[in-house]
Amino acid sequence: MDWISFYDFKHSVIYVNERHRDVHYRNIAKDIRGYVPPHSADVLDYGCGEATSADLVAAAASHLTLVEAAPNVRAALTARYAGNGKITVLTPDEAMAKPPGSFDLIVMHSVAQYLTGAELDRLLGEFHRLVKPDGLVIIGDIVPPQMAAPAAALSLLRFGAENGFFWAAVGGLIRILLSDYFRLKKTHGLSHYTEAEMLAHLTAAGYTAKRAERNIGHNPWRMTSLARKA
């Protein structure tokens, strides 16, 4: 099992219940929508997951391209948004085959931790080709090296308390200790970056970058970077 196959199947480790999943994606969609340029914008969401509120982003854009590597998740996305002409679902290879300057906004949220440094650099290079000269690339939910697991647990509990699934979140934290997640973490690892390290990766890939004032999503201990072509 790798990270893609882990996330390709529904289980109560990723989201403790349906409410958790839907509120999670709604918050992310609202945050991303705030970065969509006015008027006609083509948006790419790379590694979008289940994206149950992608229609909120699409409503603010000219077109939204959802990119997902996990086959079952991608099939569910295709079915969910089949009636929305402003949303297209692609594989990573299909997205990378798009011509240069295809997108005004490219978002990769909560994906960098599952990539090696070399994989991240390759994707940043692809995004640099795909984004328009005046476009924006967002790398969200960057996991710092210090206190990552305790911060994630505390963020989940607080998120649950705010949205009516606190006790389900407690149960979810217990289940994750017994799940494949920690076995995968030991064998495949997770990538952590300081603010300076992520900005260095972006600079090396040809961007001028800075840290956003707040992270996209519910975890304030993680980071979001905003990058434009240098």
**Chain segment 194-215, per-residue pLDDT in tens:** 999 999 999 999 999 999 999 9
Question: Average pLDDT in the 111-131 region?
Answer: 97
Distance CA 230, CA 189 (A): 32
Q: Quote the pTM value.
A: 0.90
**140 vs 171: which has the higher pLDDT:** 140
Q: Tell me the average pLDDT across 49-64.
A: 97
In this structure, what token pair is assigned to residue 159?
A: 């998120």
Q: What is the pLDDT of residue 15?
A: 83
β-strands 131-142, 103-109: how paired?
parallel
Q: How high does pLDDT run on average in the chain?
A: 92
pLDDT score recorded for residue 226: 98
The pLDDT of residue 165: 87
What does the pLDDT look like over 63-109, one tens digit per residue?
999 999 999 999 999 999 999 999 999 999 999 999 999 999 999 99
* d(C-alpha 124, C-alpha 11), whole Å: 31
Question: What is the token pair recorded at 146?
Answer: 């210090």
Most confident of 35-39, 137-141, 162-166: 137-141
Q: Could you tell me where the DSSP H helices lie in the chain?
A: 3-7, 18-33, 54-60, 71-80, 92-96, 117-130, 148-163, 166-177, 180-188, 195-204
Q: Are 7 and 49 in contact (CB under 8 A)?
A: yes
Q: Band of the pLDDT at 177, cuts 50, 70, 90?
A: confident
128 pLDDT tier (thresholds 50, 70, 90): very high
Q: How would residue 11 be classed by pLDDT, with cut points 50, 70 and 90?
A: low
CATH of 3-229, one of 3.40.50.300, 3.50.50.60, 2.40.50.140, 3.40.50.150: 3.40.50.150
Q: What percent of the chain has pLDDT over 70?
A: 97
Residue 183 has pLDDT above 90, yes or no: no
